[in-house]
A and B are shown apart, each in its own frame.
Chain A
Amino acid sequence: MRYLINVVHDGPIDPDTVKPETFEAMGGFVAKLAADGILVDAAGLEPVEQATRVDLHDGQIKLLDGPFAEAKEWIGGYFIIQVRDQDEAVEYARQSVEIHRVHAPGMNVIHEVRRIVDEE
C-alpha cells in the first residue's frame, strides 16, 4: 500500500530562519526511509509566496498569486512511502514529527497520512 504523507505547517516558514540542523535531521530521516526500503518519493516545496492558485468557484476560473493571507495551512513537503498498512505509515509519520519536535523546537507541524488509491 502506498501513502502520501503531507507535511503541513500552520503558517509560512521562511527557509532562511530554519536551522541547518533541522534540514540535516530531515535529510537523515529521508535516508532512513530509503534504507528501510520504503521510500518512493520525497520532496520539499518552495515557499508558498511563490505559489499560484488556479481556482474554480461558482463556475468562474480565477488565478491568484501568493501569498494567501487567509490560508491556515501550508504544505511544506511530502513523502510517498510503500508500506504494508496504515499503522506502519502512521508510525513513520510519528517518527518524522518526533524529529521536528527535537530538531525544530517551536515549529508546529501536522503530518497528514493519506492512502493513495490502488487502481485495480
Chain B
Amino acid sequence: MSGPDTVRRTVDTVWRMESAKIIAVLARTVNDVGLAEELASDAAVAALEQWPVDGVPDRPAAWLMVTGKRRAVDRIRRDQNLKTKYQHLAGRLEASGMAVDPIAEAEAELDDDIGDELLRVIFCACHPVLSPEARAALTLKAAAGLSTAEIARAYLTSESTVAQRIVRAKRKLESAGVTFEAPGQGEFAVRLDAVLEVVYLIFNEGYTATGGHDLMRPELCQDAQRLAQRLTALVPDQPEVLGLAALLDFQASRTRTRVDSDGELVPLPEQDRSKWDRLLIRRGLAALHQASAWGDDAGPYRLQAAIAACHARAARPGETDWVRIAGLYSRLLNVQPSPVVALNRAVAFGEAFGPQSGLDRVDEIADLPALAGYHLVPAVRGEMLERLGHKESALAEFERAASLAYNERERARLTQRAADLRNTI
C-alpha cells in the first residue's frame, strides 16, 4: 500500500508526462478528443481511489490507458446516444479490453509513434470554432498535461470557471461536427497558424500577466515553451514552428532581468545582460538556424525571433546590429502590417541610419488612428528630435508623451526626461 500523498504525486507526475499521449491514443480509439479527455480524466480519478489500496502499478501510464478504454466501454453501453454513435466501436473496444495482456498492449500503443494523433489533439483543441480562452484551456488540459486547478491558477480564475470553459468547448466541438482528423492540405497552414497563436498567447499570458500582482507567471511561460518544443518535433517541416519556439526561448531568456525588485518592467537596453539565460539563447539560436534551411522567405514568428536574436547576440547594447534589425522590421511590416511594428521599425531606423531617418519613419505613421493617444509616438519623436538638436520641439514631445503614458513608471521616466532637457535649454 502507498500513502495517499505518494499516490497523488505519482498520479500527478504520470498525468503530466503521459496524459497527452493517453488522450491521443484514446481519441484515436473513440474518434473524439472531448470524450477521450474525459475518459483519461476518469481514469486518473480511478487511480487516486485504487492505487492507495492496491499499490501503484508497475506501468502506471498503461494502467490509465486500459482503465480509460474500460470506461469507454461502460459509457457506450450505458449511454443510448453514445451507443448509436459508437456502435461500431463497442465490440472492438471490448475485444481489446479482453486481450491476453491489456497492459502490455496499452504499453505498446503508448510506445507507438503517435505523433500524428498528438498533433490532431492539438489541432482540435485550437480549432477556430472555439473562443481564444477555450482554445488555451483545452490545449493546456489535453495537450500539456495541466489539471483544471493548475489552469485556473495560471489564469487567476476559479476551477469551476475553467471546468465550465472546457465542457463548453467540447460541446462546441461536437455541435460543430469537428472530428478527430488532421486538417486537409488546403486548410493546414491556416490551422497551424491558429495553433501557433494559441501557444504564443499562453506564453504571453505568463510573460506579461494581464491580471494579478505578479508581472509574470513563469510556469505558464514554461508550459508554452514546452508546447512549442513539442510542436517542433511533431511538425518538423514548418519553419514558423521553429521560429515560434526560438522567439519564446529568447523572450524567456530575459525573464530574470526584465522586472526589477520593485516589480517594474526594465527596458531592454537597461537590462543586466549577464543574467540573460545563455542556455535558452543557445537553444533559440539553434532553432533559428534550423529554420534558415527553408530560405529567406520567413514568416512573422521567424522574423520576430531573428530580431530577438540580434539583441540576444549583443553582449552590450552598443553592439546591437541595428542595420540588420531595421531590415528585419521592414520585412516583418510586409508580412504582418501593424502600427506597432511600424513604430518599432522607426526606432530601429533611427538607431541604424540616424535620427532623421527614424523621424521620417515615425512621421509616416504618426497620424494613423490606431496610434492616436499612444504615448510612444511622441516619445520616439522626442528622442529623434533631441538627437537632431531640436531641443524645444523635443521637450514638447516628451511632455506630451508623459501626459499620455498610462503606466506610472513610464510617466515618471518621461517627465524626468523632459525636466533634464529643459535644464539644458
Contact between A37 and B279, CB atoms less than 8 A apart: no
Comparing B225-233, B301-309, B363-371, B409-417, the segment that makes contact with chain A is B225-233
Contact between B283 and A35, CB atoms less than 8 A apart: no
Q: Name A120's closest neighbour in chain B (CB-CB).
A: B256
Q: Name B280's closest neighbour in chain A (CB-CB).
A: A40
Complex Cα–Cα for A82 and B218 (A):
12
- Name the interface residues of A12-54: CB closer than 8 Å to any CB of B: 34-41
Comparing B8-16, B319-327, B377-385, the segment that makes contact with chain A is B8-16
Complex Cα–Cα for A119 and B279 (A):
14
Contact between A82 and B13, CB atoms less than 8 A apart: no
Whether A10 sits at the interface, judged by CB under 8 Å, is no
Complex Cα–Cα for A87 and B6 (A):
11
Using Cβ atoms and an 8 Å threshold, which residues of chain A touch B280? 40
Whether B17 sits at the interface, judged by CB under 8 Å, is yes
Using Cβ atoms and an 8 Å threshold, which residues of chain B touch A120? 256
Using Cβ atoms and an 8 Å threshold, which residues of chain A touch B115? 35
Contact between A37 and B16, CB atoms less than 8 A apart: no
Q: Name A92's closest neighbour in chain B (CB-CB).
A: B17
Known contacts A80-B279, A84-B219; A37 and B13 CB within 8 A of each other: no
Contact between A87 and B13, CB atoms less than 8 A apart: yes
10 contacts between A and B (CB under 8 A): A38-B229, A40-B280, A80-B279, A82-B225, A87-B10, A87-B13, A88-B17, A91-B17, A119-B256, A120-B256
Q: Mark A68-105, 1 if CB is under 8 A from B, else 0.
A: 00000000000010101101100100000000000000
Q: Mark A105-120, 1 if CB is under 8 A from B, else 0.
A: 0000000000000011
Measured CB to CB, the closest approach of chain B to A10, in angstroms, equals 27
Contact between A84 and B229, CB atoms less than 8 A apart: no
Number of A residues whose C-beta is below 8 Å from B? 17
Known contacts A87-B9, A88-B16, A88-B17; A82 and B226 CB within 8 A of each other: yes
Contact between B283 and A36, CB atoms less than 8 A apart: no
Q: Name A38's closest neighbour in chain B (CB-CB).
A: B226
Contact between B230 and A35, CB atoms less than 8 A apart: yes
Please pick, from B9, B17, B275, the residue contacting A119 in the complex, using a CB distance under 8 A: B275
Whether B222 sits at the interface, judged by CB under 8 Å, is yes
Using Cβ atoms and an 8 Å threshold, which residues of chain B touch A80? 279
Whether B282 sits at the interface, judged by CB under 8 Å, is yes
Measured CB to CB, the closest approach of chain A to B272, in angstroms, equals 10
Using Cβ atoms and an 8 Å threshold, which residues of chain A touch B17? 36, 88, 91
Contact between A87 and B283, CB atoms less than 8 A apart: no
Please pick, from A36, A39, A82, A87, the residue contacting B222 in the complex, using a CB distance under 8 A: A82
Complex Cα–Cα for A118 and B234 (A):
29
Complex Cα–Cα for A35 and B219 (A):
19
Q: Name B144's closest neighbour in chain A (CB-CB).
A: A37
Complex Cα–Cα for A82 and B233 (A):
16
Contact between A37 and B283, CB atoms less than 8 A apart: no
Known contacts A82-B222, A88-B17; A35 and B233 CB within 8 A of each other: yes
Using Cβ atoms and an 8 Å threshold, which residues of chain B touch A37? 225-230, 233
Complex Cα–Cα for A119 and B254 (A):
11
Contact between B279 and A41, CB atoms less than 8 A apart: yes
Using Cβ atoms and an 8 Å threshold, which residues of chain B touch A119? 256, 275
Contact between B283 and A40, CB atoms less than 8 A apart: yes
Complex Cα–Cα for A29 and B152 (A):
33
Measured CB to CB, the closest approach of chain B to A21, in angstroms, equals 18
